[in-house]
Amino acid sequence: MADFKRTLIPGRGPLAKVPAPAVFLLVLALFGVGVWVRGPVGATLLGVLVVGVATLLAVTWRYLEPSARVLRLLVLAVLVLVTVSVL
């Protein structure tokens, strides 16, 4: 059985105590509603995700392996493209 209390990146920051499944469900909900609603409201919801992903990437950049950096940049680029497409 998976350990849902395990942190993704060790630390004592504000997100250290947030359970990973809760974050996953929040991101999934924001993405789903943003794509479903479309228009400026959907783009705004997706924009919130873009800012969140970019912030997390910037904060964790030095701790990531080069392959993980490339993957996260790819995810960010796809999210930006989806955001632009819903306008």
Residue corresponding to tokens 């790819």: 74
Predicted local distance difference test score (pLDDT) of residue 58: 94
* DSSP-derived secondary structure for the chain: ---TT--SS---STTTTS-HHHHHHHHHHHHHHHHHH-HHHHHHHHHHHHHHHHHHHHHHGGGS-HHHHHHHHHHHHHHHHHHHHT-
pLDDT tens-digit map of 12-22: 777 777 888 98
Percent of the chain with pLDDT over 70: 87
Domain positions in the chain: 39-87
pLDDT tens-digit map of 20-45: 898 899 999 999 999 999 999 999 99
The letter for the amino acid at 5 is: K
Predicted local distance difference test score (pLDDT) of residue 12: 75
Mean pLDDT of all residues in the chain?
88
